[in-house]
């Protein structure tokens, strides 16, 4: 029920349907009007007939979450709610949703910013805004205070990215890589395929250097994957890398040709590729300060985040690959975002499609010729 008190428009919630029936809601509205006639604010009158159950931010957020949960991946839904429980509810959870102001929300955001989690502060603001949009649609609030925070959040510090080429220069880069012969025929072939494999899989250098043959599964089946153990991952969690046809070709060829336990052996069958082998190869190819192996990750991320598809009528452009697919493929994790469980196979099917699209993009542009890759290490 909307009403004005002391010159201020307010919105009073009696409860959620069907928990509160129509007749009961009418009775509460009548009681509220009676309080107004007596010069009392129904919202402030404790012990009166009016119920504020369901009008706190926590209760509205709970309804919002339940309303959308079925459309979300279970792990993503858990992540969103965990963020609310950790950062939002302790500050504004018990406040009446229609009395929360922009300064209230900003105070919550400042607490997150104080620990340096600027990305999480933005996601928290976005989540609070979605709750308020839901509240407005349900008649539980009249405005969204997050819309008044433009320019109030702390800017992200400028990040120094690993050197990487523009996508347009990839064909020339790979052509030079195919011709690489600086370490002798066999060693050069291993280095070439290791660099190509890093480009195809988006992994970190350490994750690739110590890749063991035993970590590769279903290479002759329909769902080839590379299972990287938790102890080698930056985030300390097992990581599954869906393999494209091109990456699978290299893996199968190296397993058949290379002696020892490592997919890309170093100077000895049971020694991993040395720490600087791949980056030195890029230097010798003339890409010092222009492209790093780690920079392949940023290159691929840029490509994935720029892909759009036309959707709906009237047509609109939307992202082809969800940001969660990209972040999980890169094995990124939100700082301070604690989850009860982690599913290594999360979004595996769409990530597999994304990685095949990436490999086809490279191959389609004649960037990678899989007939050249994986044969010269024998």
* Number of domains into which the chain is organized: 2
pLDDT digits (tens, 9 = 90+) for 312-345: 778 788 889 998 899 999 998 654 343 333 456 6
In a shared domain, residues 257 and 291: yes
Q: Are residues 95 and 127 in the same domain?
A: yes
* Local confidence band at 34 (pLDDT 50, 70, 90 cut-offs): low
pLDDT tens track for 237-256: 899 999 999 999 999 999 99
Regarding whether 173 and 144 lie in a shared domain, the answer is no
3-state SS string for the chain: CEEEECCEEEECCCCCCCCCCHHHHHHHHHHHHHHHHCCCCCCCCCCCCCCCCCCEHHHHHHHHHHHHHCCCCHHHHHHHHHHHHHHHHHHHCCCEHHHCCHHHHHHHHHHHHCCCCHHHHHHHHHHHHHHHHHHHHCCCCCCCHHHHCCCCCCCCCCCCCCCCCCHHHHHHHHHHHHCCCCCCHHHHHHHHHHHHHHHHHCCCHHHHHCCEHHHEECCCCCCCEEEECHHHCCCCCCEEEECCHHHHHHHHHHHHHCCCCECCEECEEEEECCCCHHHHHHHHCCCCCCCCCCHHHHHHHHHHHHCEEEECCCCEEEECCCHHHHHHHCCCCCCCCCCCCCCCCCCHHHHHHHHHHHHHHHHHCCCCCCCCCCCCCC
Q: Which of 84, 117, 148 is the last residue of a domain?
A: 148
* CATH code of the domain in which 105 resides: 1.10.150.130
Provide the pLDDT for residue 48. Answer: 42
Range picked from 154-168, 284-298, 359-373 for highest mean pLDDT: 284-298
pLDDT, residue 378, reads: 46
Share of the chain above pLDDT 90, in %: 44
Residue 136 lies in a domain: yes
Whether pLDDT at 45 is above 70: no
Q: Quick check: is 339 in a domain? A: yes
Residue 226 has pLDDT above 80, yes or no: yes
Any domain includes 44: no
Does the pLDDT of residue 207 top 70, yes or no?
yes
Q: Determine whether 332 is an active site residue.
A: yes
Catalytic residue, from 342, 361, 372, 375: name it. 342
Exactly one of 65, 125, 204, 239 is catalytic; which is it?
204
State the catalytic residue, choosing from 33, 115, 156, 234.
234
Mark whether 264 and 357 lie in a shared domain.
yes
Residue 371 belongs to a domain: no
pLDDT value for 47? 38
Do the domain assignments include residue 374?
A: no
Domain for residue 327, yes or no? yes
Mean pLDDT of 55-71: 88
Q: Is 204 a catalytic residue?
A: yes
Of 280, 288, 255, 261, the residue nearest 192 (C-alpha):
280
Could you tell me if 174 and 89 lie in one domain? no
Share of the chain above pLDDT 70, in %: 81
Q: Which domain holds residue 292?
A: 167-364
Choose the catalytic residue: 65, 297, 351, 352.
297
Q: Which of 294, 321, 347, 352 is catalytic?
A: 294
180 and 128 in a single domain? The answer is no
Active-site residue 294, yes or no?
yes
Question: Is the pLDDT score of 22 beyond 90?
Answer: no
Position 26 pLDDT exceeds 60 = yes
């Amino acid at each position: 029920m909307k009403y004005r008190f002391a010159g201020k428009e307010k919105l009073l919630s009696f409860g959620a349907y069907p928990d509160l029936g129509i007749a009961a809601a009418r009775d509460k509205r009548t009681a509220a009007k009676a309080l107004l006639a007596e010069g009392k604010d129904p919202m402030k009158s404790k012990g009166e007939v009016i119920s504020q159950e369901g009008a706190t931010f926590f209760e509205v957020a709970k309804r919002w979450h339940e309303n959308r949960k079925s459309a979300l991946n279970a792990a993503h839904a858990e992540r969103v709610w965990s963020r609310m429980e950790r950062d939002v509810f302790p500050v504004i959870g018990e406040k009446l949703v229609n009395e929360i102001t922009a300064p209230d929300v900003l105070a919550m955001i400042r607490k997150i910013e104080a620990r340096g989690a600027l990305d999480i502060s933005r996601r928290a603001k976005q989540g609070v805004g979605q709750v308020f949009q839901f509240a407005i649609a349900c008649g539980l609030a009249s405005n969204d205070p997050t819309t008044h925070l433009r320019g109030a959040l702390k800017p992200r510090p400028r990040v120094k990215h690993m050197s990487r080429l523009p996508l347009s220069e990839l064909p020339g880069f790979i052509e030079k890589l195919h011709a690489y012969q600086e370490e002798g025929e066999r060693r050069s072939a291993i280095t070439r395929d290791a660099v190509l494999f890093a480009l195809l899989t988006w992994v970190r250098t350490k994750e690739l250097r110590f890749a063991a043959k035993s970590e590769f599964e279903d290479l002759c089946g329909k769902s080839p994957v590379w299972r990287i153990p938790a102890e080698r991952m930056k985030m300390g969690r097992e990581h599954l890398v869906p393999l494209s046809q091109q990456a699978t070709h290299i893996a199968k060829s190296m397993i058949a040709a290379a002696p020892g336990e490592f997919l890309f052996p170093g100077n000895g069958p049971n020694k991993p590729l040395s720490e600087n082998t791949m980056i030195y190869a890029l230097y010798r190819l003339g890409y010092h300060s222009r492209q790093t192996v780690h920079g392949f990750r940023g290159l691929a991320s840029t490509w994935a985040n720029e892909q759009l598809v036309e959707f709906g009528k009237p047509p609109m452009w939307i992202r082809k690959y969800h940001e969660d697919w990209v972040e999980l493929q890169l094995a990124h994790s939100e700082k301070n975002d604690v989850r009860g469980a982690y599913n290594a196979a999360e979004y595996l099917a769409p990530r597999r499609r994304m990685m095949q699209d990436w490999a086809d993009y490279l191959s389609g542009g004649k960037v990678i010729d899989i007939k050249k890759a994986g044969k010269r290490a024998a």
